[in-house]
Amino acid sequence: MGQNLILNAADHGFTVVAFNRTVAKVDHFLENEAKGKSIVGAKSIKEFVSKLKKPRRMMLLVMAGKPVDDFIELLLTEGGVEKGDIIIDGGNSHYPDSNRRTKYLAEKGIRFVGSGVSGGEEGARYGPSIMPGGNEEAWPYIKDVLQSISAKSDGEPCCQWVGDEGAGHYVKMVHNGIEYGDMQLICEAYDIMKRGLGLSGKEMGDVFAQWNKGVLDSFLIEITRDILYFNDDDGTPLVEKILDSAGQKGTGKWTAINALDLGQPVTLIGEAVFARCLSALKSERTRAAGLLEGPKPNFTGNKQEFLDNLEQALYASKIISYAQGFMLMQSAAKEYGWTLHKPEIALMWRGGCIIRSVFLKDITKAYRSNPDLENLLFDDFFNKAIHKAQPGWRDIVSKGALWGIPTPAFSTALSFFDGYRTKDLPANLLQAQRDYFGAHTFRIKPEFANEKYSEAGNHHVNWTGRGGNVSASTYTA
């Protein structure tokens, strides 16, 4: 990925210095892919720094965690970086690390940028989505490079300044969490088509090919089509031979944990992470398959109508996933004192990245029309879209339950929607239970407030006559 970003920058007229601790890799790169381009090599950290113009713009693409800190220390101790120089971490770092590095380097006069980069190796070569944040003093010096090498959507660069400290890596984290959700939703649609309708790989590929011409037009739908069309040497779909145990590198988990920390109901990403965890229990699931029984799918009806419903269920669930993601970022901005520009974030995700889709143009438009939009579901376009999708969405979730096909992402998206649109949830009973067993108190509904139960007060009741009248302290963890 680092080599491809270097080649990308050289293609856009920049002279780039390349360094790797394994010097042989640099030599091989210069003699092959970089030959004839405006790329020079360095055999040491000191030489690397010395060849750069001031203020030096240095981008690290190394494994997240300690390797980033180690490389920064090398630049400080052996490289001879000076006040005003700029260090960019383009890896998948956790945003608290970027918060810390921004402050640490600012004390030394070094401007640090933590930048999310999405799009894989191909994106890095021909235009990724780039999400920079950190010390904003660096932005005027790196804007030309990063926006030049980024993907473009309708002529606009998929790279804008995100915010302070770890904001860039935070937005990349949420991007990856949404990516988890999108992939899980697609997998559930595939499972329903395969087990519920009995479609072949070619038939399912045809469905995804058709979906890619409509509202679901996206990179992930496109590659799913290609995967389902791909046959092994024996003429059968390779995907059916792949072990059903999913891996993960942590960014989805980080998103789910942060959602819990901020008290935000980002349920779909959470279920997508748990679905991967469940898939990893392959041997245990194999034993359970011989012991636990459930219903068998038995489809009757109009197949095309069902597939249309499945398309709507996937579309509606994606709307929920993105609505939850932007709710989380909105909460984070308030909690961490960041200014996150939602229209620019949607724009950055429109091209180059893994979740790029036509769908994001509508999100960009929604937030540009109303930057203070409280929730994506309040926008007219998405409000109409999700109401149109409801009948098909509910049909798919109910069919999954009746057929014994798990749909954790579809189901949690619908449950969130139903919960979000409900004025009175059963949390009143929950609060009564908490007060009953732990004297945790409750608030009264405004319409029932009186002298005994004031609207603003936290109240405790001795429910049994034996519990006492002293309440516990009130707080939200």
Select which of 179, 188, 311, 344 is catalytic.
Answer: 179
Give the angle 207-211-212 at the CA atoms, nearest 5°: 115
> According to the annotation, is 176 in a ligand binding site?
yes
> According to the annotation, is 92 in a ligand binding site?
yes
Total length of the chain: 477
> According to the annotation, is 249 in a ligand binding site?
yes
Question: H or E element: which one contains 212?
Answer: none
Other CB atoms within 10 A of residue 75 CB: 21
| 445 close to 226: Cβ distance less than 8 angstroms | no
> According to the annotation, is 118 in a ligand binding site?
yes
d(CA 358, CA 367): 15
> According to the annotation, is 434 in a ligand binding site?
yes
| 118 close to 172: Cβ distance less than 8 angstroms | yes
Give the angle 421-393-385 at the CA atoms, nearest 5°: 65
> According to the annotation, is 225 in a ligand binding site?
no
| 381 close to 364: Cβ distance less than 8 angstroms | no
> According to the annotation, is 368 in a ligand binding site?
no
Measured CA distances, 75 to 43, 44, 50 (Å): 14, 10, 11
Question: 188 catalytic, yes or no?
Answer: no
d(CA 31, CA 36): 9
Q: Which residue has the tokens 């419903």?
A: 309
Select which of 172, 194, 342, 399 is catalytic.
Answer: 172
Beta strands in 101-143 (DSSP E): 111-118, 129-134
Measured CA distances, 54 to 60, 86, 141, 261 (Å): 17, 9, 10, 41
Question: 240 catalytic, yes or no?
Answer: no
Measured CA distances, 124 to 2, 15, 152, 170 (Å): 8, 17, 13, 20
> According to the annotation, is 369 in a ligand binding site?
no
> According to the annotation, is 440 in a ligand binding site?
yes
- Give every CB contact of residue 258 below 8 A, 6+ residues apart in sequence: 173, 328, 332
> According to the annotation, is 94 in a ligand binding site?
no
Q: How many CA atoms lie within 13 A of 417 on its CB side?
A: 25
**Nearest-CA neighbor of 455 among 469, 440, 445?**
445
Other CB atoms within 10 A of residue 278 CB: 16
| 472 close to 441: Cβ distance less than 8 angstroms | yes
Residue list for the binding site: 92, 118-120, 175-176, 180, 249, 276, 434, 440
Residue list for the binding site for substrate: 92, 118-120, 175-176, 180, 249, 276, 434, 440
Catalytic residue list: 172, 179
